[in-house]
A and B are shown apart, each in its own frame.
Chain A
């Protein structure tokens, strides 16, 4: 009795109960399908976020207030960055950086005629757009004199422009930010759709104008102007580390921190940001995959249930096979092969389903789901393992039936 024969016997037995076999398989199909689809969506989201972060420029450094680290915050101390910090950095760090720009961010209501939306307002300098690699799709960025003079000019992100103006070009038109009138001078090129903190949804204003007209009292502390972050771009990847050291030294002096004291700011490189984001999205993907895996487990229990019924139904057949000389191992294999066909065939169809769902999700445009070979392999081998695990017990029961009793079974 070889494997091919077992395979034939199993197919015949499964074909005899087509509906039942199909329904049993459905559990595995849905399980495998959801593992493949959800992991594809998770992977797609990860890839999207990663691409976006990389798009910003891989040598970009971001200085943020507060200490980004694990564990409890050891309290106290100032946890803010100031415009004066930017000035100090711009003065001290001359070598190794392409440029440096401060930014203050706040949420504000933006209105054009009757259209209103809430947007992130970034008050910054012309340098910022350059460092971030933003290019104007329409119009231009504010020039130096507008920045110095506190002109009420603004540049919109692609999505923000779309939301407020529809198809119409916003350049030259007036909008209100928190009730203050601004003139739109440019629109930033589309940066890519997905992810959080999208560059497409922002509204840029000159920093000085922002302090004067929009940000208000929240932006100052003890007469010093606060900034949300300071970005700079290293000339090459090799100097990133030395620039970080310089920034830390300068700001330690600025913030009058004793050498033993912990820093009250964080210098984040893109590499770090990527690994942090990667860790988060990795957890997300694993989480989605685990939920899907549970449904696969339920599918496995369904298989076991049906196989137990099938063994009972076919007691007489088992008795006969044993009477004509089938050993325990032969009966065990017969039923195991049957379960494996159910789970593996279900696995293959499930992969098809998962790929289909992933394609459908991609078509809707929210996330570009990417089915990876590893997720397919994982889902398939998990289905095989489920089949083996849940098939073993019914097959074992069948193999242990005593032929004399099995033959008498009605």
Chain B
């Protein structure tokens, strides 16, 4: 990566929810800049605002105030359908619970984002097959989610996130529902895809060990960014878990 261009630019974003009579400030003035090709982890306890930030970064929601530029495009004041269009073109999601459609095959699950993007049937199929091939599921394309293991299901979900060639991939606790061995495989896949295709990946987790596999760790608390740290040498997937003391930064 010789020239770094900015992929995500967040300036002084706030998000305020009205809960009955009280106002909840989920985000309280967040500034964040993520360059193209970076693999970043966002960490924080529940209630820290990391999920709200992820929703805004993923164009699932708009901030109450502040500026959000994604890949040079302003996304803080868009309508529902405009947001849907941005999601369709630029964002791939990976969820903790995989969120696959149960009654459809792996291939059809991966094809789904393309159909909403208006890609024609033949191209759709080819691209979905390629995406499944990237995640190593060539021989499982016509299986349904209930015929796949948890790790395989998450691979399908990753293929679905990649199929649109998104500018960013947002992963929300992608190993949270998996055992540690399968979790490691998923992390390895993310690292490998990141290396091979240079995708910008944002990884939300509460586990400092998993966060150490990325190149940058952003810690959040009470709707604010607490620390933002470059990881000089990210852990390789499969590395032994260091002691809690070594992981703790404070």
Interface residues of A (CB under 8 A from B): 1, 5, 12-13, 16, 316-317, 320-330, 402-404, 407
Contact = CB atoms under 8 A, between A and B. Distances in A.
Interface residues of B, number: 25
Nearest to A323: B93
B16 to A, nearest CB: 15
Contacts of A327: 80-81, 84-85, 116
A5 B93 CA distance: 23
A402 B62 CA distance: 11
Given A1-B115, A325-B87, A407-B95, 8 more contacts: A321-B112, A322-B87, A324-B160, A325-B116, A327-B116, A328-B80, A328-B81, A407-B60
B174 interface: no
Contacts of A324: 87-88, 93, 112-113, 116, 160
A327 B81 CA distance: 5
B231 interface: no
- Chain A binding surface, main DSSP class: helix
Contacts of A323: 58, 60, 87, 93, 99
A140 B188 CA distance: 107
A326 B83 CA distance: 10
A65 B210 CA distance: 103
Nearest to A403: B60
A12 B108 CA distance: 12
Interface of B: 55, 58, 60-61, 80-81, 84-85, 87-89, 93, 95, 99, 101, 103-104, 112-113, 115-118, 160, 164
26 contacts: A1-B116, A1-B118, A5-B115, A13-B103, A16-B103, A320-B101, A323-B58, A323-B87, A323-B93, A324-B88, A325-B85, A325-B87, A325-B164, A326-B84, A327-B84, A327-B85, A327-B116, A328-B80, A328-B81, A328-B84, A330-B116, A402-B61, A403-B60, A404-B60, A404-B61, A407-B60
Contacts of B116: 1, 321, 324-327, 330
Contacts, number: 57
Contacts of B88: 324-325
Contacts of A403: 60
Nearest to B115: A1
Contact of B84 (A16, A317, A322): A322
A402 B115 CA distance: 20
A404 B57 CA distance: 12
A13 B55 CA distance: 28
B113 A325 contact: yes
Contacts of A325: 84-85, 87-89, 113, 116-117, 164
A410 to B, nearest CB: 9
B30 to A, nearest CB: 17
A403 B112 CA distance: 16
Contacts of B85: 325, 327
Nearest to B99: A320
Q: Of A316, A325, A326, A403, which is in contact with the most chain B CB atoms at under 10 Å from its CB?
A: A325
A5 B118 CA distance: 12
Contacts of B93: 323-324
Nearest to B97: A316
A403 B58 CA distance: 11
Contacts of B164: 325
Contacts of A12: 103-104
A323 B94 CA distance: 10
A327 B116 CA distance: 8
A407 B95 CA distance: 10
Contacts of B55: 404
A76 B81 CA distance: 78
A98 B32 CA distance: 106
Contacts of B118: 1
A316 B117 contact: no
A300 B239 CA distance: 61
A329 B81 CA distance: 9
Contacts of B115: 1, 5
Contacts of A402: 61
A321 B116 CA distance: 9
Nearest to A326: B116
A320 B103 CA distance: 14
